[in-house]
Amino acid sequence: MGIADNDLFASVVVGDPSGKVIATSVGGSVNYHYWGLEQARANLMDLVHQTVGWDRRASLAGACFTYKADFAVTEWKMPDLVSGFLEGTDVMVEDFATSSLLGMHGGEDRLFLVGGHSGLAVFEDSTGRQLQTRQEALMWNPIMRLNSKLQEVAGVDRNQCVEDLLYLKSQIALGKGLGVFTDILDQRVSQGSSLALEVAYELAYDLVQMVTSMSAHFRGLEPVIGLYGQILLGSQTIRTRVHHLLSLLFPQCRIVDVPLAPAKGAYLSSVLTRRSGFEQEVITNLFN
């Protein structure tokens, strides 16, 4: 079992020892640093119910967790999280960047592009060297972006475009998730809001800029670029723009949506830890 947590929800991939995926699911976060141990345990129990079945949980040979949160792997203490229901399971924690890249397939150069609550690009070349770059947190924040855009049009008559941005801002302020933000953004773009389109294109530009900053390290001409995150995959406007710009800049690259890459990578780590020597068989089964 591979569990990838992004602080708001967790994605799960369950497979057999040969690399064949049996079940996938999405549920509540298992990040106990943010949500507390009781809630994280309840969410993990639900995920086990959904994917393996409570009565079959003893069949889980291994479980690998990976967390997007900025905590070192050594800071995650798992016994309290899994005690009582994954007692016989080999539990481990893997670095999020490593899991994400492992969960992508193909190419000597791989780049994992994240557009969610943070903007992040993780690159790995054929030698296994990893590099990262990220958007500055406040500059990436949707509320800050909307405030900046509203300041640009301050003094302008409150036309419908401005009202659209104010509505977007109000929904985020009410605690609505990024899914609501991307849905409303796309809706307003489809209705002809020029300011909503500017916000979407600026987000897309910043994501692409992270890729170009990494391109000097590409060893080949055909990098695989994996797209991940609610803003990037949740907004058709942003995703299409990113795809278009990357295709122009790197015409030989392969661009793929990889919403389950971190969970797949965590699952793969769990399997390969116990199946040394069968790496190629497991990887072939997982990605075919």
Domain boundaries, the chain: 2-102+261-287, 107-258
Predicted pLDDT at 112: 97
pLDDT at site 71: 74
User: In the structure encoding, which two tokens stand for residue 266, read together?
Assistant: 């965590």
Fold of 2-102+261-287: Nucleotidyltransferase; domain 5 (3.30.420)
In the prediction, which pLDDT does 157 show?
A: 52
Range among 139-143, 153-157, 216-220, 251-255 with highest mean pLDDT value: 251-255
- Rounded CA gap, 268 and 273, in Å? 8
pLDDT bin (cut points 50, 70, 90) of residue 206 is very high
Q: Report the distance separating Cα 230 and Cα 232, nearest Å.
A: 6
On the question of pLDDT at 158 being above 60, the answer is: no
For residue 274, pLDDT over 80 is answered with no
The mean pLDDT of the chain is 87
Q: What average pLDDT does the segment 252-275 reach?
A: 91
Report the SS3 class of residue 107: coil
Rounded mean pLDDT of 4-19?
91
- Do 2-102+261-287 and 107-258 agree at the fold level? yes
Question: 60: number of CA atoms within 13 Å, CB side?
Answer: 31
CATH hierarchy code of domain 107-258: 3.30.420.40
Output the pLDDT for position 91.
Answer: 93
* pLDDT tens track for 87-139: 889 999 999 999 999 999 877 799 999 998 889 999 998 888 999 999 887 67
Q: Given CA atoms 269, 275, 279, 283 in this order, what sign does their dihedral have? A: negative
Per-residue confidence band for 276, with pLDDT thresholds at 50, 70 and 90: low
What's the pLDDT score for residue 238? Answer: 96
Amino acid at site 63: A
Mean pLDDT of 28-36: 92
**What's the pLDDT at 13?**
96
Parallel, antiparallel or unpaired: strands 254-257 and 110-115 = unpaired
Mean pLDDT in residue range 193-199: 87
